[in-house]
Amino acid sequence: AAADYAKQQPWARADRLGATGFCGGGATAMHFATEYPGVMAVVPWYGPLGPRYKDYTGDAFSLVVKLTMPILGLYGEADGGIPAADVKRFETELKKKNSNVEVVLYPGTPHRFFSDDSPQSYKKDAADDAWKRCVAFFTKHLKA
């Protein structure tokens, strides 16, 4: 509904839609990109990759064949809930079907590294770099 609304606004380019989100929102952005027509770029910020709870079937690995748009994944190497090995495996699987994939794995960086209201996880250097990458990525793929 939010995308439909935004596309109707005079300031929006209805033919250029991107999706992003943090943590569960990052996973949701990937799911949204595979289901909503016209998503041209997606940036999941430390979006969970595997099953999160019993009987959960919506893991990111099941989306690989549908994630055909440019993707920028932003992850922390020290994320206790999303192992770096899983992030690397996800990147490898994506690149088998999609040549426009970039995954950044910030060394020593935990989950929620962008949350400046969470001093125990916020990492300013990683957050600043990731934000610049996100904006540049959307500028490249949505403003062209």
- Which residues are part of the catalytic machinery? 23, 79, 111
Task: Report how many helices (DSSP H) and strands (DSSP E) the chain contains, helices first.
Answer: 4, 4
Residue with tokens 């989100």: 21
For the chain, where are the E strands, in sequence order? 17-22, 39-45, 71-76, 101-106
Q: Calculate the CA 83 to chain-centre distance.
A: 16
Contact by Cβ (8 Å): 79, 46 = yes
Task: For residue 14, report the phi and psi dihedrals to the nearest 5 degrees.
Answer: -60, -20
